[in-house]
Structure 1
Amino acid sequence: MHRTVIEPRFYETDAFGHINNTVIAGWFETGRRGVFELFSSDMDPRNLNLILARIEIDFVAQTYYGSEVEIRTWVERIGRTSFTVSQEAWQNDQCVARGQAVQVHFDWQTQAPAPLSEDQKAALAAL
């Protein structure tokens, strides 16, 4: 499991005083950085052969400004050309959101999904 700590910013709050729900998707993307680095260690977008096929988020509780949020990230499923990343956001010892993202290994030249190598599968399984 990979962990990322986020310090909520004031401008991420909404009129109700809690973190706007659109922000969580961005935090989850930040939490997937460890996964991205498996495919492009220098994080050069030209070398990152992944595309996002699907994302879903369940909002479990309200998230507030003023307390850190920990994003927990792990790989739930590994397929032939894609994998599913599961994530949770925790604040003050409470899960406030959970979600999944389906990432597809992509060949930019052919514009089609590409099989994951055994090395890539092993690295993903370690998460």
Structure 2
Amino acid sequence: MLEEQFKVRFYETDALGHVNNTVIPGWIETGRLPIFDFFGAMSGETISLIVARLEVDYLRPIYFGKPVTVKTFVMRLGNSSFDIGTEVWQDDQCCAMGKTILVYFDYSEQKATPLTADIKQKLSALAHPEYPIDA
């Protein structure tokens, strides 16, 4: 599992004093960036990862002035796609949960391509300690 800590910036809050809902997907994206290192150089001309789906459940407000921790983990490994889970924590409470489906995509062939055994092994190491990976 990966963990990243963020300071809530004032401009990320709304008139009610909590983090705007549009900010959370950005934190989710930043939390999963280290996973891209497993895939080496990617481009829109060769093979890359594409986001097929992003879901966010907003559980409780997040406030300015207190740090948040974004926990990122692998939930499922498929043939050419995998699911990333994300939890956003503040004050020891889970405030948001996300799920992102990423597809390993070959742009030259315009189709999904299988994940290698090496990549699957690296992704497996990012399992949540409390949840097994679905295969």
Q: TM-score, normalised by structure 2?
A: 0.88
> CA 1:93–1:48 in structure 2 vs 1: closer, same or farther (change >3 Å)?
farther
Q: 2:35 maps to what in 1?
A: 35
Distance 2:11 2:38 in 1: 32
Offset of 1:45 from its aligned partner?
Answer: 5.5
Corresponding residue for 1:111?
110
Alpha-carbon distance in structure 1 between the residues aligned to 2:36 and 2:122: 11
> Residues of 1 paired with 2:109 and 2:122: CA distance?
24
Identity, in percent, stands at 46
* Matched positions, count: 124
Equivalent residue runs for 1:81-100 within 5 Å: 81-100=80-99
Whole-angstrom distance in 1 between the partners of 2:119 and 2:112? 15
Unaligned runs of 5+ in 2: 127-135
Q: Distance in 2 between matches of 1:31 and 1:37?
A: 13
Aligned mates of 2:42, 2:69 — CA distance in 1: 25
Q: Residues of 1 paired with 2:119 and 2:36: CA distance? A: 11
Structure with more of its chain in helix, by fraction: 1
The Cα offsets for residues 29-64 of structure 1, whole Å up to 9 and x where unpaired, read as: 000012112113xxx652771000001010011001
1:17 aligns with 2:17: yes
